[in-house]
Amino acid sequence: MESTKFPTLGRRLFFRGTIAGLFLSLAFLRLMHSSYSNTRMFTIPNIIISKIPNRTELNHTNNVSGKTKSRYYLPTSDSSLSYSWVDNQWQPPPGVPLYTIQEMRRIFTQGNVLWIGDSTARQDYVTLYNMITSSSSTNDGDHYYSNLTVAQLNEGINVNKGGKITEICDRRYPFDLLLCRNIGNATVDKIVHYDYTEQICFREVFNYINTNWRLLMARYSTILVSVGIWDVIRFQYCGSQNATYVRDVLNVIDEKFSANGHVQLLWKVHCGAGNENASEMDRTGLIQQLTRDWFATHPPPKHSYNVVMIDLAKEMEGRTYGEARIAGDIPPHLGPTARMLFLQMATHAIAQQRGGP
């Protein structure tokens, strides 16, 4: 399979477009500066000091919506189970723990992890890596202290972007990996593979899963998918698919993975790019709704809850477009606070499925 992804015309246009967009929105970015400072206030000083939830507490959250283990981890139709926003900081709903970096490390180092998707997946991948490999955190009894800065969270989020390879992956094949790292604790544990494959369109994700599912199932314990923006703002590049194509992707994932409950696959409901026009926002909204409808009409097979939806878009309502957006480095990307929210939701989903950390 030819997998080297040098920038095609469509991609170059996209990058140019986003760079142009960046210049055009300089004034907007200035506005965002104040909210960025708020992010810093959260992440630099004595952040995340929380009691580590024990198994009983975590187990309680399994039942928080009255139904144990479903495909909907968060949110449900019950808005009281949504994360809240205070200023530019999110807070978990009652009964949902705030996972410390140490817990995230423990949860994500239990088996090989693969991220599939576009640059939003890459930035999530690197952010989580930065968090769980950071030495700027300590555990003091049942209290946890972290001193991770925004700069540390953001470090290297654009590595290997746009075909400029600066980090060579030495086990690229057969998984078409763009990034491959190791996490885990070599002294007490086996090395855990932590990988990323760049698949930027729904069509690419479909083909990737359809082609590689046996290999993926043999290698990985957890797979996270983050894709969707290109199918909206560069939808011609992605094949001008009808928005309903997202169902085909979910169908192939379901067909390949649901019967084999040992691989957890987390599907992110993606947030739109910050610079979408009205019709693009409509298309994003349509794809999000089709995704939710798909999960609502495809209850998991008995005893198999391994393909789940993480509805980041729902939690980011009001924070995706306009001045309140938790903006990242370019319009399609989200800032570190939003990436950490997704990572919390993903951690929670994995912990729930495993019945505790």
Ligand X SMILES: *[C@@H]1O[C@H](CO)[C@@H](O)[C@H](O)[C@H]1NC(C)=O
State the Cα–Cα distance between residues 181 and 176, nearest whole angstrom.
14
Please answer whether residues 317 and 285 qualify as being in contact, where contact means their C-beta atoms are separated by less than 8 angstroms.
no
Question: Shortest Cβ distance from residue 172 to ligand X (Å)?
Answer: 26
Question: Shortest Cβ distance from residue 15 to ligand X (Å)?
Answer: 16
Under rule CB under 6 A, residue 280 binds ligand X: yes
Q: Which of 25, 110, 149, 158 binds ligand X (CB under 6 A)?
A: 149
Q: Which of 8, 79, 244, 251 binds ligand X (CB under 6 A)?
A: 244
Q: Which of 56, 166, 240, 297 binds ligand X (CB under 6 A)?
A: 56
Under rule CB under 6 A, residue 143 binds ligand X: no
State the Cα–Cα distance between residues 353 and 357, nearest whole angstrom.
10
State the Cα–Cα distance between residues 339 and 279, nearest whole angstrom.
25
Q: Cα angle at 180 between 209 and 272, to 5 degrees?
A: 60
User: Which residue lies nearer to ligand X by CB, 168 or 278?
Assistant: 278
Question: What mask, x for binding ligand X by CB under 6 A, covers residues 86 to 125?
Answer: ----------------------------------------
Question: Shortest Cβ distance from residue 56 to ligand X (Å)?
Answer: 4
Q: Which of 4, 187, 240, 297 binds ligand X (CB under 6 A)?
A: 187
Q: Which of 57, 78, 293, 323 binds ligand X (CB under 6 A)?
A: 57
Q: Which of 86, 188, 297, 303 binds ligand X (CB under 6 A)?
A: 188
Please answer whether residues 331 and 271 qualify as being in contact, where contact means their C-beta atoms are separated by less than 8 angstroms.
no
Backbone angles phi, psi at 275, to 5 degrees: -110, 25
Point out which span in 15-23, 184-192, 263-271, 336-344 binds ligand X (CB under 6 A): 184-192
Residue 202's alpha-carbon distances to 10, 96, 98, 99, 279, in angstroms, are: 15, 31, 31, 30, 19
CA dihedral of residues 330, 334, 336, 339 (deg, nearest 10): -140
User: Which residue lies nearer to ligand X by CB, 234 or 333?
Assistant: 234
Under rule CB under 6 A, residue 251 binds ligand X: no
Read off the tokens for 313. Answer: 């878009």
List the strands of the sheet with 179-183, edge to edge: 179-183, 192-198, 113-117, 222-226, 264-268, 307-310
Under rule CB under 6 A, residue 240 binds ligand X: no
Under rule CB under 6 A, residue 242 binds ligand X: yes
Point out which span in 82-90, 155-163, 171-179, 274-282 binds ligand X (CB under 6 A): 274-282
Under rule CB under 6 A, residue 54 binds ligand X: yes
State the Cα–Cα distance between residues 120 and 277, nearest whole angstrom.
19
State the Cα–Cα distance between residues 124 and 343, nearest whole angstrom.
8
Under rule CB under 6 A, residue 209 binds ligand X: no
User: Which residue lies nearer to ligand X by CB, 85 or 237?
Assistant: 237
Neighbours of 20 (CB within 10 A): 10
Under rule CB under 6 A, residue 317 binds ligand X: no
3-state class of 194 per DSSP? strand
Which residues lie near ligand X (CB under 6 A)? 54-57, 59, 63, 66, 147, 149, 185, 187-188, 233, 242, 244, 277-280, 355-356
